[in-house]
Structure 1
Amino acid sequence: MRKPRDFDADLKALEDKARGLRTRKVRQLGELVIATGADTLTAEELAGALIVLSETKEAGKREAWAKRGTAFFHSRSRRNAPTTDRISDGAPTQPSGLQPASGRKGAT
């Protein structure tokens, strides 16, 4: 006879994993803000810039931001090659929109 599955334990494990992923995402976003120099902005300025960026639907601007973000990450990876827990190739997709907050193209 089969052993009954412990759904509570499975659910707890999934919740723990989700919590860990959220924590990692927040940490990486904080690292990105610092790395781009956007930590010199006030919280209001940064929030306002991010709102404008997230509302932007113009494909040309978004592509330019993505290219600039890609260049930023490639230049950082060459300068900081030995670092281990840095923002990796998977991160630029979402955070590349953060780049204009530090004076990048399209931020105005």
Structure 2
Amino acid sequence: MRKPRDYDAELQALEDKARELKARKVQQLGELVIATGADSLSAEELAGALVVLAETTDTAKREAWAKRGAAFFRGRSRRSSPTPDRDTGGAQTQQGGTQPPSGATGAA
């Protein structure tokens, strides 16, 4: 005869794992905000920019942002000494790139 399964224990283990994954995701998003220099923005500015990004359906813009993000991660080779220079350049370029879509969306 088979041993009965403890469904409650299995469910609890799955809930714990989901909670752990969610916490890790939140931590990684916070680290991403800091790494990109976006932590210098107010919470309202950052939230507004993210709302605009999430609402954007223009695939060309999304592809351009994805390429830029990939380049950002390739450029951050495990926090080497040139990284701060790249961070500053990326933040300046990112702000310039973020403002026109916001302006375009606000005008539409």
TM-score range, shorter chain: 0.7 to 0.9
Larger radius of gyration: 2
Q: Which of 1 and 2 has higher RCO (CA within 8 Å, sep 6+)?
A: 1
Alignment gaps of 5+ in structure 2: 81-90, 101-108
Please state how far the C-alpha of 1:107 moved relative to its aligned partner: 4.1
Q: CA deviation at 1:63?
A: 0.4
AA at the equivalent of 2:68: R
Q: How do 1:1-108 and structure 2 match up within 5 A?
A: 1-76=1-76, 78-80=77-79, 102-103=94-95, 105-108=97-100
Relative to structure 1, is the Cα distance of residues 104 and 19 closer, same or farther in structure 2, using a 3 angstrom cutoff?
farther
Q: How big is the alpha-carbon RMSD for the aligned residues of Structure 1 and Structure 2?
A: 1.7
Instruction: State the TM-score, normalizing by the size of structure 1.
Output: 0.76
Rounded Cα–Cα distance in structure 2 between residues aligned with 1:15 and 1:43: 30
4+ residue stretches of structure 1 with deviation over 4 A?
Answer: none
The answer for unaligned runs of 5 or more in structure 1 is 82-98
Distance (Å, rounded) in 1 between the aligned partners of 2:79 and 2:42: 27
User: What letter is aligned with 1:105?
Assistant: G
Would you say how many aligned residue pairs link Structure 1 and Structure 2? 88
TM-score, with structure 2 as normaliser: 0.76
- Counterpart Cα distance in 2 of 1:106 and 1:2: 60
Deviation at 1:105, TM superposition (A): 2.4
More helix by share: 2
Mapped partners of 2:48, 2:72: distance in 1: 22
Q: State, as a whole percentage, how many aligned pairs show the same letter.
A: 67
* Distance in 1 separating the partners of 2:50 and 2:24: 20
What is the deviation of 1:103? 1.2
